[in-house]
Structure 1
Amino acid sequence: MKPTELLRCLQDKKEGAHGNTCYTSDQLLLFVAFKESKKQSWNNQNLSSVPLDLDGGLRTLDLSNNFITQLHVLALPYLEKLDLSGNQLDLISEGAFGNLARLKHLNLSRNRLSVNFGSNSKALGSLSGLRSLDISMNGLSNGAAELVLRNKSSLGQLKMNGNILIKLSPSLFRESQNIRSLIIEDNLISEIEPQTFDPLRRLESLNLARNNLAFICDFTLHQVKYLNLSRNSVKVFVTRENAALYNLEVLDLSHNKLLYFPILPKVNGLKYLHLQNNFLGALDPEAVMVTEVNSLYQDIVNEKIRRKNYLHANWKLMPLVYIDLSFNHFTSFPIETLSLLYSLETLNFSYNCLQNINWDVRNYSDRRQVRQINFPSLKHLDLQSNGLTRVSPLFLKALAKIETLNLQDNSVQPCGLLSRSLSRKHADLNSSCAAFGQLNTLKHLNLRENDINILPPNTFQGTSLISLNLAKNLHMVMHERALEGVQTTLQSLIISEIDVNSSGLSLPCMPALTGLNMSNNKLSRTPDSFGCSPLRELDLRNNAFVTLNYSLLEAASANLTTVFLSGNHFNCCDSGWLTVLNEMRVSLPDIDQAECFTRERNLTMREYLKSPLLHYVACWQILKNDYCPQKANQKVL
């Protein structure tokens, strides 16, 4: 069977034709070879022109990253994909693409198409069957882009990044109405005229990042699922209230100038909302922000008041699972607004200006009672780098399904069991410590760099902790029963950079612990509890170890896969433990930086391992002379 016949047969199979298998394994190999022969790459070959001896049967041709300046007639009737990106192309002959009837994918990015654009636009106008086109970084203006998009009714994907478009108008996409994915990132767009996107009924993905847009006052793209407006100057995002269904699933408004939460479509499928790096929270408190945004909405749409709170009414209906509010200006936590997101699973609130998370919740029925609301689906909460000193117990209580809590780089002091047993009223209103024990679903807790003074007994009892990070809490006093209640569930423990020595560290038996990081301390011996844990990874870097407990390591070596050792001052004469690790094929990633010492000189651990017996004999002679000085000068028979 000829390759062309095999190709036809395979196509019939793909389209659902019935009958016996029309190819053998040898024929399949022949087909693969045939397909590969129809691809040719000339990228990065310093070409100044298109090669003349191209195979007329080519289906894919890569001429990217060369120095081609002109393109003349290509006689490649079967060509489907052509890549000319990264050249210096400034002139395309009017009939250059005349013989490319099957061309579907064309990449002309990073060229100079704005030069000689009269001829270039005529050449591109003949390509009516294109499905994807990339004309990024060609210095194209609005008029030039409009000429390129003429006669492009088959186009499904268009990239126009890095050009000089300043405005989008309805005439731009009039003849390319089937575009599904549109990327116009990094232009100079400051205005989008009404009805610009009306011809694009199938548009699903729109990227307008890195432009100069300042206001989105009437968002009407019902069909779009992904919208990227990041890195503009957007101050307001408003959707007029109506009953129309919006397909929006991902909205990126990060790196803008938003002062308010966006007014989003009433009926939508929004799941991911990116609002990081804005000015949200500058209007404090939360009630002020909500009032302002509702007033702004009424001014923009110029409607009489029908509903008091547009923002909250719409947020209640959103199926949002992820929201990023990091790097904003919040000084208080917008509890009421965020609690309306009943499907919310992940909230990033890191790098804001919180000092306390108070329970500022209005009670609509009885001012004398505290109103408890919940975050019913929230599993992952990131509060890193906020300057927090107090987290209300009522807020922690609201985290009914929390699994991951990141409090790194704050000043949160954990409560012990005694503090949690205080009267409910006293604990709720006046407690200055965080009662983690009430978070019974909590699995991962990061308390790195919190200036923790003391870790009391039973600090985490009641949780389901799997991983705990206590690093960089300098001079933290860790009670010997601090981990009681989670010693059977902990799999990862980080206690690096807490400035502790061996006498100040007592760890319980942890039968589930597989990862332990004790680096950057003053430890000189490993805890006896090592024998209880199926450790796989152990980090002992930058401590005061001279030797390691041979029997404990031998017991642990059955599970150990990785040990970090550097930054200690090991004794070469007491390194049997190293031989054990080496024989058990335990990985020692920093072995080249680790050293041991003898009386005469320091050795790298790798050097020691090359001839451990030689160094052992030297050590034995030194020890023999130390114990028998009167025989130091005698020959040993």
Structure 2
Amino acid sequence: MVRHMLSSLLLLWSFSHELYLTELKYDSLTEQSWKNQNLYSVPLDLDIRLRRLDLSNNFIRQLQTLVLPYLEQLDLSTNQLDFISEAAFENLTQLEELNLSRNALNNNTGVNSKALQSISGLKSLDISFNSLSDGAVELYLRNKYSLDQLKMTGNALTRLSHSLFKESKGLRAITIDDNRISVIEEGTFEPLRQLEMLNLAKNNLAHICDFKLRQLKYLNLSRNSVEFFVTREDDQLYRLEILDLSYNKLLYFPIVPKMNRLKYLHLQNNVLGSLNSEAAMVSQANYLYNEIFNEKTIRKNYLHANWRLMPLKYFDLSYNHFRTFPVETFSLLSSLETLILSNNCLQNIIWNIRNYSDSGERRQLYFPSLKHLVLQGNGLVNISPLFLGALKKIETLNLQENSVQPCAFIDHLRSSRTTQQMNLITSCVAFEQLRTLKHLNLKENNIKMLPPNAFQKTSLVSLNLARNTHMVMHEGALEGVRATLESLIISEINITSSDLTLPCMPALTQLKISNNHLDILPSSLSCSPLREIDIRNNAFIALNHSLMDTLSVHLKLMYISGNTFNCCDSKWLIILNELKIKLPDISDTKCFTPGNSNIAVTEYLKIPLFHCLLHTTAQKVHFGQMLIVVLFLFVVLTVFIIWTRNLCCTERSCIV
């Protein structure tokens, strides 16, 4: 019975092994790469069973007839191909993907295009970087009824005609970036009902005055010269989700379709905000709309009406010219989660909104979904408390490279102040209003004083205070967030150990205190489950080994270079080394011996006590030698004194 089972198992194993080898052999036959083989022609001995063939990065100039009836993918990119015989692809009945990028297909376009016309089932075609003109591309796209993806990057196209894609109406993705396109004829893309992705970046387009592509989900118009983007208002649903208009010359916000699904809008590196005020920018955009569509009277605020329905989540406006924060316009974006306004010209964010009520009080606006606000690299000094109060769900606030000064916790005074008075308190920023705030970046703000309880009532998890080189930290500055703070960065603030007082922070896992003048770690760190510490470029000679022993329970990573450690007071270092704590910069770290000789810590750790014992022995030998010399001199001096006295006595006896 057992013998029969073993025989069956052996037979099963043999069968499965043979099947496995057969599959490997089959796979090796269906895919073959001749990439980077310095070929000047296609190899003649190709297996007809091939399904994928890579001939890229060679020197092939001519392509003759290929007899590969099962081939599905062919890569001939980065060759010198300028001639394709008319019958080259006739036998490739299964070919679906063809890559001809980075060749010289601008030559012999008549013959080459006829060769491509024979591939009736092609789904993906890449003819990028072939210096193709408008007419040449039209030839190459004939008989491409099944084409799904088309790439034409880096050619010489200047105009897209309405007949360009007449035989490729099933296209879903088109990439025509890095050309010279300045004109797109009406009807070029509209018939492509399946088109979802269109990339027209790096061209010479000046405006989009009547956007009609309802089927698109992704549109990239970055790095053109677009001055405005306007859509005629109708009740049709547009499927556009991502619109990239970055690196253009936009003066106004785009007027998007009324019914849309837009979630990601990229407007960075334009000239938005150049007009004096938000009201001027909005009115000019609406005036432009009326001019383009010949509206006789201004009936409505098209910009705001359409934005009110926009489900936008991500909005990038970095590197523009905003001098004021468009409070009203942005408050219309009820789904907005991330807003980037870095590197603009903001100095103050004031609560300057229109339309007072009959009672004379301002309307209260909110940013109901905004979680991440990036204001880095402006000249911000003042932020209205009313604006901060409107950030009901804010989690991340990046104020790096501004001039913001945190206020002390003054909640007990709030009740006695009117709304108008609160709006006038602009000498500092009261972070206590941001109850949901988790991540705050105040790096490089030239903060002079970090007052007591500066972040009281927030929910801070990470705080960056680096490069505030003249900042004085009050003893209770972090008291309000000691229970929640997990990451603290106070690097490059020129602080000494006597100036640094940290509360017990039971949640702190990351501490960066590099580039200061510290020589002692605060004992309060024993409360923290630190996993990462950065103490580079300070004045540490040794670290408290009992503190390091406590921290080593959780510690995973530590940076220590740029200090003047004492080799002979390094019990802490031996602890870290034995526990295999990661010290990525240990090879750049040195320590000194009492004899003032610097050695690499890596060398010291090979024989931890050798260098110190050697120096101690040397000290002992030196002391012994000195003792012998002193005793010798003492004996010599004693003998000399006795001899002198005896001589004197002898002389006196002779005289008498």
TM-score for the superposition, normalised by structure 1: 0.94
Partners of 2:618 and 2:448 in 1: CA distance: 46
Q: Which residue of structure 1 lines up, in the alignment, with residue 646 of structure 2?
A: none
Q: Which residue of structure 1 lines up, in the alignment, with residue 349 of structure 2?
A: 357
The alignment status of 1:579 with 2:551, answered yes or no, reads no
Partners of 1:325 and 1:457 in 2: CA distance: 35
* CA deviation profile, 1:507-549 (whole Å, cap 9, x unmatched): 0111111100000000011111121111111000000011111
- The alignment partner of 1:182 has SS state of strand
- Which of 253, 266, 285 lines up with 1:293 in the alignment? 285
Compute the displacement of 1:29 (Å).
5.8
- Which of 593, 597, 600 lines up with 1:601 in the alignment? 597
* C-alpha contact (below 8 Å) 1:363/1:369 kept by paired residues: no
Q: Which residue of structure 2 lines up, in the alignment, with residue 424 of structure 1?
A: 417
- The alignment partner of 2:219 has SS state of strand
Compute the displacement of 1:130 (Å).
0.4
Q: Which residue of structure 1 lines up, in the alignment, with residue 639 of structure 2?
A: none
Partners of 2:24 and 2:263 in 1: CA distance: 42
Q: Which residue of structure 2 lines up, in the alignment, with residue 454 of structure 1?
A: 449
Q: Which residue of structure 2 lines up, in the alignment, with residue 474 of structure 1?
A: 469
Compute the displacement of 1:614 (Å).
1.1
Compute the displacement of 1:610 (Å).
1.4
Report the CA distance shift for 1:633/1:151 in structure 2 as closer, same or farther (over 3 A): farther
Q: Which residue of structure 1 lines up, in the alignment, with residue 634 of structure 2?
A: none
Report the CA distance shift for 1:65/1:311 in structure 2 as closer, same or farther (over 3 A): same
The one-letter code matched in structure 2 to 1:378 is L
* C-alpha contact (below 8 Å) 1:183/1:207 kept by paired residues: yes
Partners of 1:328 and 1:154 in 2: CA distance: 43
Q: How does 1:388-403 map to 2 (within 5 A)?
A: 388-403=380-395
Compute the displacement of 1:632 (Å).
9.2
Q: How does 1:520-599 map to 2 (within 5 A)?
A: 520-598=515-593, 599=595
* C-alpha contact (below 8 Å) 2:442/2:465 kept by paired residues: yes
The one-letter code matched in structure 2 to 1:113 is L
* C-alpha contact (below 8 Å) 1:467/1:491 kept by paired residues: yes
Q: Which residue of structure 1 lines up, in the alignment, with residue 112 of structure 2?
A: 120
* C-alpha contact (below 8 Å) 2:290/2:298 kept by paired residues: no
Partners of 1:144 and 1:609 in 2: CA distance: 70
* C-alpha contact (below 8 Å) 1:191/1:213 kept by paired residues: yes
The one-letter code matched in structure 2 to 1:270 is L
Compute the displacement of 1:170 (Å).
1.1
Compute the displacement of 1:52 (Å).
1.0
Q: Which residue of structure 2 lines up, in the alignment, with residue 6 of structure 1?
A: none
Partners of 1:633 and 1:586 in 2: CA distance: 49
Q: Which residue of structure 1 lines up, in the alignment, with residue 494 of structure 2?
A: 499
User: Higher Cα Rg: structure 1 or 2?
Assistant: 2
The one-letter code matched in structure 2 to 1:278 is N
Q: How does 1:310-325 map to 2 (within 5 A)?
A: 310-325=302-317
* C-alpha contact (below 8 Å) 1:332/1:356 kept by paired residues: yes
Compute the displacement of 1:575 (Å).
1.1
* C-alpha contact (below 8 Å) 1:420/1:435 kept by paired residues: no
Q: Which residue of structure 1 lines up, in the alignment, with residue 97 of structure 2?
A: 105
* CA deviation profile, 1:336-379 (whole Å, cap 9, x unmatched): 00110000000000000000001111134247312220000000
Partners of 2:521 and 2:474 in 1: CA distance: 18
Partners of 1:240 and 1:276 in 2: CA distance: 24
Partners of 1:631 and 1:194 in 2: CA distance: 105
Q: Which runs of 5+ in 2 are unaligned?
A: 1-14, 631-656
Partners of 1:633 and 1:238 in 2: CA distance: 99
* CA deviation profile, 1:276-315 (whole Å, cap 9, x unmatched): 0000000121001101000010000112336320000000
Partners of 1:542 and 1:622 in 2: CA distance: 32
Q: Which residue of structure 2 lines up, in the alignment, with residue 375 of structure 1?
A: 367
- Which of 169, 173, 176 lines up with 2:161 in the alignment? 169
- The alignment partner of 2:139 has SS state of helix
Compute the displacement of 1:628 (Å).
9.0
* CA deviation profile, 1:389-447 (whole Å, cap 9, x unmatched): 00110110010000000000000000001377343322222332111011110000000
- The alignment partner of 1:421 has SS state of helix
* C-alpha contact (below 8 Å) 2:109/2:139 kept by paired residues: no
Partners of 2:618 and 2:491 in 1: CA distance: 36
Compute the displacement of 1:32 (Å).
4.5
- The alignment partner of 2:488 has SS state of strand
Q: Which residue of structure 1 lines up, in the alignment, with residue 617 of structure 2?
A: 621
Report the CA distance shift for 1:632/1:175 in structure 2 as closer, same or farther (over 3 A): farther
- Which of 268, 273, 282 lines up with 2:265 in the alignment? 273
Report the CA distance shift for 1:91/1:366 in structure 2 as closer, same or farther (over 3 A): same
* CA deviation profile, 1:10-69 (whole Å, cap 9, x unmatched): xxxxxxxxxxxxx96863563344123211000011111111111111100000001111
- The alignment partner of 1:237 has SS state of coil
Partners of 1:508 and 1:243 in 2: CA distance: 59
- The alignment partner of 1:522 has SS state of coil
- The alignment partner of 2:164 has SS state of helix
RMSD: 1.8
- The alignment partner of 1:290 has SS state of helix
Partners of 1:292 and 1:306 in 2: CA distance: 11
Partners of 2:17 and 2:629 in 1: CA distance: 80
Report the CA distance shift for 1:131/1:593 in structure 2 as closer, same or farther (over 3 A): same
Q: Which residue of structure 1 lines up, in the alignment, with residue 513 of structure 2?
A: 518
- The alignment partner of 2:555 has SS state of coil
* CA deviation profile, 1:605-630 (whole Å, cap 9, x unmatched): 11111111312312443676899996
Q: Which runs of 5+ in 1 are unaligned?
A: 1-22
The one-letter code matched in structure 1 to 2:81 is L
Partners of 2:425 and 2:48 in 1: CA distance: 82
Report the CA distance shift for 1:408/1:629 in structure 2 as closer, same or farther (over 3 A): farther
Q: Which residue of structure 2 lines up, in the alignment, with residue 92 of structure 1?
A: 84
Q: Which residue of structure 2 lines up, in the alignment, with residue 255 of structure 1?
A: 247
Q: How does 1:197-346 map to 2 (within 5 A)?
A: 197-305=189-297, 307-346=299-338
Q: Which residue of structure 1 lines up, in the alignment, with residue 60 of structure 2?
A: 68
The one-letter code matched in structure 1 to 2:280 is V
Q: Which residue of structure 2 lines up, in the alignment, with residue 612 of structure 1?
A: 608
- The alignment partner of 1:61 has SS state of strand
Partners of 1:118 and 1:379 in 2: CA distance: 57
Compute the displacement of 1:455 (Å).
0.5
The alignment status of 1:408 with 2:400, answered yes or no, reads yes
Report the CA distance shift for 1:595/1:298 in structure 2 as closer, same or farther (over 3 A): same
* C-alpha contact (below 8 Å) 2:307/2:332 kept by paired residues: yes
User: How many correspondences in the alignment?
Assistant: 612
Partners of 2:147 and 2:320 in 1: CA distance: 39
* CA deviation profile, 1:451-497 (whole Å, cap 9, x unmatched): 00101100001000000000000120101100012101100000000
Partners of 1:494 and 1:618 in 2: CA distance: 40
- The alignment partner of 2:502 has SS state of coil
Partners of 1:551 and 1:632 in 2: CA distance: 42
Q: Which moved more, 1:431-440 or 1:579-588?
A: 431-440
Partners of 1:150 and 1:389 in 2: CA distance: 61
